[in-house]
Every structure is written in C-alpha cells, then in structure tokens.
Amino acid sequence: MTTLNDIAKRAGVAKSTVSRYLNNGSVSDKTREKIQAIIEETGYVPNQFAQSLKAQHSNMIGVVLPRFDSPSTNQVLKGLDDVAHEKGYQLMLTNSNLSIEREKENISLLERQKVGGIILIASMMDEDLKKQVTQLSIPTLILGQQIEGVPSLVHQDYEAGRLIAEHALELGHTKILYVGVTEEDNAVGVLRRNGFMDTVKEAGFEAAFHETSFSRKEAYQQALDYLPTTEATYIAAATDHIAIGILNAANELNLSVPDDFSLSGFGGYSESDYTFPSITTIDYPFYGLGIKALNRIEQMMKEDPVSLLETMPNQLNVKQSTKKIK
C-alpha cells in the first residue's frame, strides 16, 4: 500500500509538501505536476481523516514579535497582515517582550503547532537560539538579524550609522555622543553603532558612547543625568524612541534642541514628525519589509529557491532637530 511518505520520496520533496498539495495549499506548479503524476501512477488514496487534521494549520504562518509596543514592529506586522489577508493565510502571533528565552519558547510553540512557516522578527540572539533555528524543519525567515544558512531580510544598519555620522560631520560637529543599546542586538547594538563610530573615527574624531535600553522612559531618565554635564554638540540616538526620550529630558532641563545640541534618531517613526522640534532620522521601510517577508515565506513554503540574504534600503530624513554648529 502506497503511503504519503512513499509519494514524498518519489517526488523528491518533504512530506509536508505532499500534504500541502493534498490540501490545496501553496505548492509550485512544477512540484504540483510531479506529485499529481505519481499519485495517478500509484493510485494513492489519502486518509481523509488524517488529512483533515493535518490541514488545520497548512495556511497558518507563525510570527515571533520582539514586542508589541514598537512602531517599527507594528508597521512590519501591518505589511505582513495585508499580504496574508490578500493571499488567504492566517497569522499566529507570539510576543517575546525583548526576552531571548521567551523567543526560544515561542519558536518551540509554533513548531509544535505545525504552522506552515515561521517569521522571526529577531531582537537579541545567542548561540542556542541560532542552533534552534537552524534545526527547524519548518520554513523559517529571519527579519532584522542574520543567522548563517537561514534566509534573512535585513536593514542596512551599518550604512545607516554612516549616513547619520556623515550628516553630523557635514554640519561641523566634532563633539559627538552616541546613545546606543546592548550588543546582544546585533543590528541596532553593533552594526548601527559601528557604522556611526567608524565614520567619525575616519574623519579624525572620537565619539563618546552611552548605553541605554530601548525604553523611551529609561532613555529620558538617564538623559536627565548626563545632559547637564555633556560637552556634546551632537547626540545620535540608536532609535527614534530613544531620541524622543532625550528630547523630553532636554525640555525639562530647559535645554534647546538644536540650539544647545543637535539630536537625531533611527527608524523614521511617525512620532518623530510631531515632536518639537521634529527629529532628524533615518527612514526604514518597515511596512515594505512586512510585505516582502510574507511573499518570501510563501516562496519558502512552496519550496521555491530564495536568496539567503537581502537588504532593505533606507534614507536620511533631515528635519528640525539638527543644524550647523556656530
């Protein structure tokens, strides 16, 4: 008696691919024709009860979010949801709340739920998480970070750091402070910072560094302590939220931006348009990332070939918070 496993072996595909075919899921035309021919040749008849059980999550895509209270995450999620709705997929959302342990738990949960694919919007990573992801049997796409051998969509964070540093230098600033985050976040904590620091150093200057968290409140509280004594005429914050926290502290201390110091962020959050002054930033295409990610995971679920790494463009958006130094 021919089994589903026999069909998969003869077709040279995974059992999950044959299952998707049987349940009218996403399979490439070439693979669909191959499976159909083998089924007709062997006279295979699927177990309808088992098939119905396995079909429950064939169009379900699991998403691991780093946090819910993030403008960037919300924009990515909107892009994912718009395309998922259009193509008939359902999203199963999990929240890691910036905890690497919860991130691992959520990945395991989605694997047990037998979702058709996983999109990991990664924040922090360690070797255990990388190992876990590389061993998954489910198609998995990483957003914002990279794991060797796993398809990833990333922002040009190093280049973004360089853009902001070049802007500061072009305005004549040489006393510069970079307010960043932990190096456990490779994209924001390492690449973005290194792009900035390297550019300042290449110009013959040194930028000071202060580490904070992603929390706007914590950035605000820390800025109340260091702003009264800093000599920096330009402060670059690793995110727009951090920049807004610094701006709030400056207002409380009766410091003027950009008269006392220029200030910039990263992200292009809409909130940075409605502060006073509006905040110079690097615009990131978060919504476009979500759209591209859903299309990419669909390709992977169909077992179509995809590139392991693709970068998303960004651009400098100069607003009111930066100016030439006198």
Q: Tell me the two tokens of residue 193.
A: 């910072």
Residue 133's φ and ψ, nearest 5 degrees, are: -65, -40
| Distant-in-sequence, close-in-space partners of 236: CB < 8 Å, separation ≥ 6 | 164, 165, 168, 176, 177, 178, 179, 196, 207, 263, 264, 265
Supply the pLDDT for residue 1. Answer: 63
Tokens read off for 267:
């992200």
Q: Which of 262, 285, 268 is nearest to 78 (CA)?
A: 285
Strand partners, 121: 143
User: How confident is the model over 115-170, as pLDDT tens digits?
Assistant: 999 999 987 788 898 999 998 889 999 999 888 889 999 999 999 999 999 999 99
pTM of the predicted model as reported, rounded to 2 decimal places: 0.78
The amino acid sitting at 227 is: L
Angle in degrees, CA 86, 299, 30, rounded to 5 = 110
258 Cβ neighbours under 8 A, 6+ residues apart: 277, 320, 321, 322, 323
Confidence bin at 42 (pLDDT 50/70/90): confident
pLDDT digits (tens, 9 = 90+) for 214-259: 999 999 999 999 999 999 999 999 999 999 999 999 999 999 999 9
- Cβ-contact 195, 162 below 8 angstroms: yes
The stretch 102-107 carries a mean pLDDT of 93
Give the C-alpha separation, 54 to 114, whole Å. Answer: 8
- Taking the C-alpha atoms of residue 147 and residue 294, their distance in angstroms, rounded to an integer, is 19
All domains of the chain, ordered by start, with CATH? 4-46 (1.10.260.40), 60-153+286-311 (3.40.50.2300), 157-284 (3.40.50.2300)
More confident residue, 266 or 304: 266
Residue 143 — φ and ψ, nearest 5°? -115, 130
